[in-house]
Amino acid sequence: MTIEIVNPWTGQVDYRYAMMDGAAVETKLAAAERAFPMWSTRTLAERAEVLNTVARALRAGKESIAGFITAEMGKLRREALAEIEKSAGCCEYYAANAAQYLDDEAIATEAQRSFVSYEPIGCVLAVMPWNFPIWQVFRFLAPALMAGNVALLKHATNVPRCADLIERVLREAGVPEGVFATLHIDNTQTAAVIADPRIKAVTLTGSERAGRSVAATAGAHLKKCVMELGGSDPFVVLADADLDAALPIALSSRFGNAGQTCIAAKRFILVDAIADAFIERFVAGACALAVGDPTLDATTLAPMARADLRTAIHQQVQASVAAGASLLCGGAPLDLPTAYPATILDGVAPGMPAYHEELFGPAASILRVKDEAEAARVANDTSFGLGASVWTRDRERGERFARGIAAGAVFVNALVRSDVRMPFGGTKASGFGRELAQHGIHEFMNIKTIYVA
């Protein structure tokens, strides 16, 4: 089967590629199985040297890589360059810090010696999304490789050149054959790869639907999996918030990457005392965003990645307006292949798609509440639990509020983001398991108890 890649900005077919057949997939699986014993017995210093070389290669090739990101999923060029830099930094961080995460952990017992050791498990299959086609891969890959595992990547079908670039960068940086490879395969083939005994675990970043499917297949074969799924993150602004600090973050969180970010602020929960002042400035900032060619510096809002994604967000907006929401700006597709304007809905309430569903595009929901207690209740009134932020001048109040939010990460007076130094993941329908930091690197390891009497 041949896949055509349409440039989101031009609407033209830029690239065509074919899915792999069974023989090609078998070759990759066999190479990964051969590579694991060699890679897992390399010293941490040797693996770190390779990861540092990868980081240098990413930076050296950033202009070319950014071009492919923009061409395949429409990301602003400056956002693409920032993504590459973050990926390079991730490689460097785990090269420098993996040893402390993987060191034996002594446990005091009556034994002469008792401890926990962390051992790699083998080949991990990563099923990754298109919205951060480089970073999402390295967020998983850098810790996994430093842990001694090998990996296969099934990337989203609309970013094949990004997937191939990652493989080429790693190969040229000295990552041995079989330690990492890309599989251009469909969902049926992916299920068969998960079932293969040479695959020891699966990690997925994607939609709730994809997560259910992959987790079910992994569970049927008793394989560990980590799921980072969707989110409808609350952005809670309390009465004492510093609006000068909150508003720039609100705009960048909601409309960066054309709103196509799992941990973007999506539900703006505003206490009545500051709601009108926040909304006036928020709408002005959103209306000023310029949709255009993502390769140009003057463009401040990227096109969406695909036409069907634009159709989906527009349908959610229309249905919410029909149910009683007020349209403050945007709300109509632009006369461009995939572009959608910055859109803000006020008066969002239960029963509307904008209240219950993830808006995966440049559309924001405003929910007005009378006080802090109602803000917390509304923030938790969702099936999702990925990230959240709360804005207040009182740090203790912010920490107290954060503890009451059911989410994998809550940021007080800051942008919700994945940070290589801290675990990342969700709860409820936003998934399970963690990536990054000590918790993430241990997900795909045999955590072994050793007791010496």
Measured between alpha carbons, how far is 338 from 6 in angstroms, rounded to an integer?
A: 10
CB neighbourhood size of 89 (10 A): 16
Q: Is the backbone of residue 450 left (phi > 0), alpha (psi -120 to 50) or beta?
A: beta
CA distance 105 to 234: 37
What are residue 271's DSSP bridge partners?
Answer: 369
What is the spatial distance between Cα 309 and Cα 338, in angstroms, rounded to a whole number? 8
Encode burial over 353-362: b for 16+ CB neighbours within 10 A, e otherwise: bbbbbbbbbb
Contact yes or no for 365/359 (Cβ under 8 A): yes
Catalytic residue list contains 83: no
The active-site residue out of 228, 372, 435, 443 is 228
Spell out the residues 6+ positions from residue 242 whose beta carbon is closer than 8 angstroms to its own.
Answer: 391, 393, 413
Residue 162 annotated to the active site: no
Query: 262, 357, 358, 372: which one is catalytic?
Result: 262
The Cα–Cα gap between 263 and 437 comes to 18
Counting beta carbons within 10 angstroms of the beta carbon of residue 323, is it exposed (0 to 12), middle (13 to 18) or buried (19 or more)?
Answer: middle
Backbone angles phi and psi of 74, in degrees to 5: 85, 5
Determine contact, residues 356/383, Cβ cutoff 8 Å.
yes
- Return d(Cα 361, Cα 364) in angstroms, integer: 9
What would the DSSP string read from start to end of 357-370?
S---SSEEEEEEES
Q: Which residues are catalytic?
A: 228, 262
